[in-house]
Chain A
């Protein structure tokens, strides 16, 4: 694995962790803003009745969990807790742990959304086909009735 040297030259660190440590002061702030915006956006969509309730529950729970985790970074005991939790999974930084959680959730959500979308597309396709067939049959019946009436007139 590619290694970089830490700032005090005492222990080598993997390149990704070095990168995250360099970005660490800014990342939680950016993530916090993103989480707050997503929470606000979800609530707005609920208010406007533009979001399914089950989906909105998932996103509100996710955003609150995300903001709570970021909030824990402010307190030394919280940071310590995340640090120990991260250590258990072989992650040496609390921010890396939060990023990993976001990535896992996003990945799973994307996967389930993709499956749901496939099913919805299939249903839509079937409905359109059924509708087209129904329209065709109705037109044919109309023509038959019209022809019958014309024949009767003659």
Chain B
């Protein structure tokens, strides 16, 4: 896994970032990682420096999409061919990195750590939203993605390059749907996730509704007009 870089976007994660990295290294001692401090206003940067954590410090807050893109760009510039987006709040579990990488090695472009491959999805309001996004992807990209909102995604080759340099490639379901339409292969594998170690989720009820609507409209209405660059080969 020496060509894999784990990108951990962090915004105000002072309470959880050190333990997240510690758990990661305990499970995968030789893994390469970078924490992208997205202009945090708390002591995230200080905590990283005190714990000798590799950190890419963004001078201002540019949002999750920009932070992940910074990580993708860093990966490309330093010769990595694969990137894993990994939450800084302790929700993602490192034991699933190796199985995900195995799927990348077997030829998939994007691998999603999914909570619902063999597990059942509940009918909570948030999961109804997730089903709506899944349905949009099924209808417009002709692929069943059971956990489109999972933030644990591994990306490789030309897909990684595309994420790193192009506009509108946020780490969101609509980008996954768009990559499927462009001919990239996406595979989901079953993972388990923890509760957040600290802090509160960015997604409040109002933001969740806005997020689900935006994603659904983006997949169903906007995507047919977006210019597709069909996948040519792994690079």
Given contacts A57-B218, A126-B59, A126-B60, contact A46 B225 (CB under 8 A): yes
Q: Indicate if the CB atoms of A60 and B227 lie closer than 8 Å.
A: no
- Chain B residues near A56 (CB, 8 Å)? 222
Q: Which residues 142-173 of B have a CB within 8 angstroms of A?
A: 166-168
The verdict on A47 contacting chain B, using a C-beta distance below 8 Å, is: yes
B222 contacts A127, C-beta separation under 8 Å: no
**Chain A binding site: helix, strand, loop or mixed by DSSP?**
helix
Measured between alpha carbons, how far is A131 from B59 in the docked complex, in Å? 9
With contact pairs A54-B214, A57-B218, A57-B221 given, residues A49 and B226 touching in the complex (Cβ less than 8 Å): yes
Q: Which residue of A lies closest to B213 (CB)?
A: A57
Contact A47 B225 (CB under 8 A): yes
| Known contacts A46-B225, A47-B227; is-contact A52 B168 (Cβ 8 Å) | yes
- Number of chain B residues whose Cβ lies closer than 8 Å to a Cβ of chain A: 16
What separation, in Å, do the CA atoms of A151 and B166 have in the docked complex?
A: 48
Count of chain A residues with a beta carbon within 8 Å of a chain B beta carbon: 17
Neighbour of A49 across the interface among B61, B166, B221, CB < 8 A: B166
Residues of the A chain whose Cβ atoms lie less than 8 Å from the Cβ of B60:
123, 126-127
Query: Given the complex of chains A and B, what is the CA–CA distance between A56 and B168 in angstroms?
Result: 11
Q: Give B178's nearest chain A residue, CB to CB.
A: A53
The residue that B227 contacts in the complex, of A49, A123, A127, with Cβ under 8 A, is A49
Residues of B within 8 A of A137 (CB): none
Interface flag for A48 (CB, 8 Å): yes
Instruction: Give which listed residue, B59, B174, B222, contacts A46 with CB less than 8 A.
Output: B222
Checking A46, A52, A123, A127 against B226 with a beta-carbon cut-off of 8 angstroms, the contacting residue is A46
How far is it, in angstroms, between the C-alpha of A130 and the C-alpha of B214 when the chains are bound? 34
Mark interface residues in A104-123 (1 if CB within 8 Å of B CB, else 0). Answer: 00000000000000000001
> Does B221 lie within 8 Å of A127, measured CB to CB?
no
B62 at the interface (CB under 8 A from A): yes
**B227-A48 in contact (CB<8A):** yes
Residues of B within 8 A of A53 (CB): 168, 174, 214, 218, 222
What 10 additional pairs, Cβ within 8 angstroms, besides A126-B60, A131-B59? A49-B168, A50-B167, A53-B174, A53-B218, A53-B222, A57-B214, A57-B218, A57-B221, A126-B59, A130-B59
Measured CB to CB, the residues of B under 8 A from A are 59-62, 166-168, 174, 214, 217-218, 221-222, 225-227
